[in-house]
């Protein structure tokens, strides 16, 4: 695969890209991967590119506005 852009991938390929990038998404490790998988659901659904999701996450993290916070087995917005 040369591109991970939505226009160049199928839903199944995007699911695989996210799963391979995050690692274990079944939350059997420490529970953090499941929250990360949810963060990328818009990419899997073909709504937002990965770069846009990552940029939004970084902007929220740096500003502290609506940044995700750890909640047991996942992530939630403040």
pLDDT in tens, 57-73: 877 656 555 555 555 55
**Are the C-beta atoms of 12 and 58 separated by less than 8 Å?**
no
Give the C-alpha distances (Å, rounded to integers) separating 71 from 10, 45, 47, 57, 74.
31, 24, 25, 17, 5
> Collapsing DSSP states into helix, strand and coil, what is residue 52?
helix
**Mean per-residue pLDDT for 15-43?**
74
Spans of all domains in the chain: 6-71
What pTM does this model have? 0.63
Distance CA 20, CA 24 (A): 8
Burial 18-27 (b: 16+ CB within 10 A, else e): bbeebeebee
């Amino acid at each position: 695969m040369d591109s991970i852009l939505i226009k160049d991938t199928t839903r199944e390929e995007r699911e695989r890209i996210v799963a391979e990038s995050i690692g274990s998404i079944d939350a059997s490790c420490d529970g953090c991967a499941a929250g990360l998988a949810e963060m990328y659901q818009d990419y899997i659904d073909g709504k937002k590119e990965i770069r846009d999701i990552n940029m939004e996450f970084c902007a929220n993290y740096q500003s502290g506005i609506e940044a995700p916070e750890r909640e047991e087995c996942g992530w939630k917005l403040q």
